[in-house]
A = this chain, B = another copy of it.
């Protein structure tokens, strides 16, 4: 595959250019993985799931992190679509986006399954 001469661009241009070379599926999977790539976010999802009902900043009490940091992690999860949040007055109410989570599960398991099929077809 042709490789661009990247040192003529800024880092940002570069990163954007690189991304074009990957398929949507590859980028989606990587994005999802990135959202799950910090233990705090794993815990947050677990906490949100366990509480069943949405909950606000009780998440902070479950984590050894400052309120600001937890809020940032929640934002990441929200941007990844794994969590949805509503503002209720002064409070914020988060909950697991089950539909999105199940799509995520599909995405991952499909990818692994395909790899597995390849393995089985040759080894």
Chain B min CB distance to A30 (Å): 4
A109, CB-defined interface residue at 8 Å: yes
Copies in the complex: 2
Number of interface residues of A (CB under 8 A): 51
CB-CB nearest 8 A-B residue pairs = A33-B36, A34-B37, A21-B64, A22-B39, A33-B37, A52-B122, A30-B39, A105-B112
Q: Please, could you name 20 A-B residue pairs with CB atoms under 8 Å apart, sorted by A? A: A2-B64, A3-B66, A19-B39, A21-B64, A22-B40, A22-B43, A29-B39, A30-B37, A33-B35, A34-B37, A37-B37, A42-B111, A46-B115, A49-B118, A50-B118, A96-B115, A98-B119, A101-B112, A105-B109, A109-B109
Chain A residues engaging chain B, CB cutoff 8 angstroms:
1-4, 6, 18-19, 21-22, 26-27, 29-30, 33-43, 45-46, 49-50, 52, 61-66, 96, 98, 101-102, 104-105, 108-109, 111-112, 115-116, 118-119, 122-123
